[in-house]
Amino acid sequence: MQTFGQLLKEERLKRNLTQAQLGELLGVTQGSIASYERDEKIPRSNRLKEISSLFNLSPNALLGHHSSAPEIKKIHGVIRVPVIRKITVDLPIDAEANIIEYTYIPDDGKYREGEVFILEVSGDSMEGRSRICKGDRVLVQQQDDVESGEIAVVAINGEDVSLRRVTKTETGEVILYPDNSKYAPMLVRDGNAKIYGKVVQVIFEPL
């Protein structure tokens, strides 16, 4: 079965387009097209729709999935990942109320479908050392604990869900640090913080 990159290259060559020409049509660089064709990146859903429309193919067909079933369970070479803008604390991560769309990431063996999600960053608390800015997207591995120094998606006092760098003290206390100096660290006691997962990657839209 062909990968997304192989299919993209095949469709591009059918139309006698160079990578630079296809990039110009889509508003991205030649380097982005090259990355797609090498299966180093999978475009976001909106970009995938643009490519599908240009080639007169469905997104499923372009991704190498030829079933007519609307629900995609597994596509060769990629993982289907939910994109979340806001987490509702009393609902599961994968609840439809949390999800704004689905996108795809390369299946490089690091992550399993159903165990990762993408969070669209809505605040500026991690601007600074981590360079995670409002509007960026982060790939999150679902887990209920992290190591000291790692960045977690965390709910504080059952309400505010945000990104914070976790520091664990020798006495067992947990301090949640923002990277932006205009916010204060928070000392957490007695399980008042719920960790949803660890940030493993910041995802930038190709230019």
In a domain, 70, yes or no: no
- Of 13, 33, 62, at which residue does a domain stop? 62
My answer on whether 169 and 110 are in the same domain is yes
Distance CA 178, CA 172 (A): 20
Banded pLDDT at 64 (limits 50, 70, 90): low
Residue 1 is predicted with a pLDDT of 64
Q: Which long-range contacts (CB under 8 A, 24 or more apart) does 112-117 make?
A: 112/79, 113/74, 113/79, 113/80, 113/81, 115/141, 115/142, 116/79, 116/81, 116/140, 116/141, 116/142, 116/197, 116/200, 117/81, 117/82, 117/83, 117/84, 117/93, 117/142, 117/197
Q: 34 lies in which domain range?
A: 4-62
My answer on whether 32 and 126 are in the same domain is no
In a domain, 140, yes or no: yes
My answer on whether 199 and 121 are in the same domain is yes
Q: Given a cut of 70, is residue 190 above it in pLDDT?
A: no
Q: How many domains does the structure of the chain reveal?
A: 2
The listed range with the strongest mean pLDDT (15-24, 55-64, 98-107, 195-204) is 15-24
In a domain, 105, yes or no: yes
User: What are the tens digits of pLDDT across the range 105-152?
Assistant: 888 888 888 899 999 888 888 988 888 888 888 999 999 999 999 999
Distance CA 179, CA 164 (A): 8
Residue 123 is predicted with a pLDDT of 84
My answer on whether 88 and 189 are in the same domain is yes
Q: Given a cut of 60, is residue 73 above it in pLDDT?
A: no
My answer on whether 22 and 51 are in the same domain is yes
My answer on whether 146 and 49 are in the same domain is no
In a domain, 69, yes or no: no
In a domain, 104, yes or no: yes
In a domain, 31, yes or no: yes
My answer on whether 51 and 92 are in the same domain is no
My answer on whether 81 and 123 are in the same domain is yes
My answer on whether 52 and 105 are in the same domain is no
Angle at 176 between CA 172 and CA 178, to 5 degrees: 155
pLDDT over 90 for what percent of the chain? Answer: 23
CATH value at residue 195: 2.10.109.10
In a domain, 35, yes or no: yes
My answer on whether 188 and 126 are in the same domain is yes
Distance CA 176, CA 165 (A): 6
Banded pLDDT at 76 (limits 50, 70, 90): low
Total Cβ atoms within 10 A of residue 3: 20
Banded pLDDT at 70 (limits 50, 70, 90): very low
